[in-house]
Amino acid sequence: MSRALRVPAAAGIVLLLAGLAACGHKGAPIPPRPRIPESPREVRVRQRGERIEFRARYVLRDLRGHPLRPPVVPVALVLGEPSPELAAGWSAGFRDREFLRRAREVELPALDPGQGAEDVVRLDALELDRLEADGHLVVSLALRDRRGRSAPSPRTVLPVARPPLAPLERLDVVPRERGVALSWAGGDDRAAAVRIYRRIEGEAGDDWRPWRVVPREEGQTVDEGVRYGQSLVYAATVALSAEGPVVESVPRVVGPLAYEDRFAPDPARDVVAVAVESGINVLWVPSRADDLELAIVERQEREDSAPWHEVGRVRMPDAFFSDRSVRGEVRYRYRVISVDRRGNRADPAGPTDWTTPRPTRDAEAPR
């Protein structure tokens, strides 16, 4: 074939392809990638009184990093089971689809996405009356916006107390020299533990993380970690168990309690008076208080009804006083009062036995 004939044939093939393209035969279009919200994080679930409470961190963006489109709604997925064995069976991964199919969806109040894809920590609650299931609940959270719903969070099995646990009847909080003493009484007989929450005013508190968990029958505990000048708030609930899923009563709250140093130190011990020439030495074992400042030495003369008079002050750590303002042949006895840095005074330690100063050697020499 000549060169002249080959060129038009090639041109014809190009025209044919162009015609096919013009007819729209380009294959199936590529669908847009779905914009699925990120799943809720750090999800906690508990029963407190008549409420099922959720706490979670929501990231207000989809898996591609785009901000979510309002309305943005947390969704609780709840499934009831009559026994703990059946409820625990839902933890298996192969039951994900079945759980989504059977779980009841309950919408929680909508979130405000605000200006962008910021994190939001939220506390939500459902009244127990809205959930008809008895026994145990299998609970998960998801997040939904206008374009889709996230994958659910890991499932939590929560035993349900019906009726809700009765709270403590009494919570007493008493400041002491070495801490704050807490005691309680009453509460539901089904409860095994008391969960104590502690918050210092001016600092962020977390009422989902108890400061201490104590067996209910112990009835008391002591907070030895307080410092003077702090203002504290204590809350205590009774719980079904000390560990595992949190099922507790509504809290009984005491405070704010101003913890100030208004406490007298322990008294000194073993106060003795020793006669010496023209004087009397007073010795004692100091108080064990950490903030002890000084000891005041007082003296009484002649008889029990005579008044006590201060005769000296001794700074810590000394525990010795020499009284030289005495007269011969006069009986004296002593007591010691410990004082801390705030000026709080202990009860007097003593008194010593009656003591008379020894005469000087010159007075003893024969004439």
Say if 3 falls within a structural domain.
Answer: no
Do 209 and 151 lie in one domain? The reply is no
The boundaries of the domain holding residue 73 are: 41-159
pLDDT at 309: 94
Say if 338 falls within a structural domain.
Answer: yes
Do 145 and 217 lie in one domain? The reply is no
Amino acid of residue 129: D
Q: Are 159 and 240 in contact (CB under 8 A)?
A: yes
pLDDT at 20: 45
**What gap in Å lies between CA 76 and CA 96, rounded to an integer?**
15
**What gap in Å lies between CA 296 and CA 209, rounded to an integer?**
47
CB atoms within 10 A of CB 314: 17
pLDDT at 2: 45
Tokens of 42: 């750090």
Residues 6+ apart with CB under 8 A from 189: none
pLDDT at 363: 54
Tokens of 317: 């750590």
Ramachandran angles phi, psi of 173, nearest 5°: -125, 115
pLDDT at 265: 87
Q: For residue 240, how far is the Cα from the chain centroid?
A: 19
Do 150 and 179 lie in one domain? The reply is no
Give first-to-last CA distance, the chain, whole Å. 166
pLDDT along the chain (367 residues), means of 10: 46 47 55 78 93 92 87 92 86 88 91 69 85 80 92 92 92 89 93 94 84 94 91 95 92 91 88 94 90 93 86 93 92 95 91 92 56
Q: What is the pTM of this model?
A: 0.70
pLDDT at 261: 83
Write down the residue that tokens 């679930």 correspond to.
Answer: 45
Do 142 and 243 lie in one domain? The reply is no
Q: For residue 111, how far is the Cα from the chain centroid?
A: 27
CB atoms within 10 A of CB 242: 14
Say if 4 falls within a structural domain.
Answer: no
pLDDT at 132: 66
